[in-house]
Amino acid sequence: MTMTAPNQKDGPQTITMSLKEGFMRTDVPTKQGTMSAIFDIKNHRMILLMPQQRMYMERDMPQPTPPPASSNPTGGMPSGYSFQDTGVTETILGYNCKKFLTTSPKGSAQIWVTDQLGSFFGLYHGGSPGRRQEAPQAWESALSGKNFFPLRVVSNDGKGTFRMDVTSVNKQDLPDSTFSAPAGWTKFDLGSIFGGALQGGFGRSGGSN
Torsion of CA 122, 82, 104, 90, to 10 degrees: 60
Classify residue 85: in a domain, yes or no: yes
42 located within any domain = yes
pLDDT of residue 196: 43
Give residue-wise pLDDT tens across range 122-135: 887 665 544 555 66
Work out how many domains the chain is built from and give that number. Answer: 1
pLDDT value of position 63: 59
The amino acid at residue 173 is D
List per-residue pLDDT tens for the chain, 209 residues long: 999 988 877 788 899 999 998 899 999 888 878 889 999 988 888 899 988 889 999 988 765 555 555 444 334 555 678 889 999 999 999 999 999 999 988 889 999 999 999 888 888 766 554 455 566 788 888 888 889 999 999 999 888 899 999 999 999 999 999 999 999 999 987 654 444 444 444 333 333 33
Strands 161-165 and 2-4 turn out to be: antiparallel
Q: For position 173, what pLDDT does the model report?
A: 94
Domain annotation covers residue 99:
yes
- Which pLDDT value is given to residue 3? 92
Residue 207 falls inside a structural domain: no
| 13 falls within a domain | yes
pLDDT of residue 185: 93
Domain that holds residue 12: 2-63+77-170+179-201
CATH of the domain at 190: 2.50.20
Distance CA 65, CA 134 (A): 11
Cα separation, 114 vs 67, in Å, equals 22
Is residue 68 domain-resident?
no
Which of 174, 188, 79, 175 shows the shortest CA–CA distance to 130?
Answer: 188
Predicted pLDDT of residue 140: 87
CA separation for the pair 109, 156 (Å, rounded): 6
Q: What pLDDT is recorded for position 187?
A: 92
Residue 209, pLDDT score: 38
pLDDT value at residue 74: 35
pLDDT for the residue 132: 54
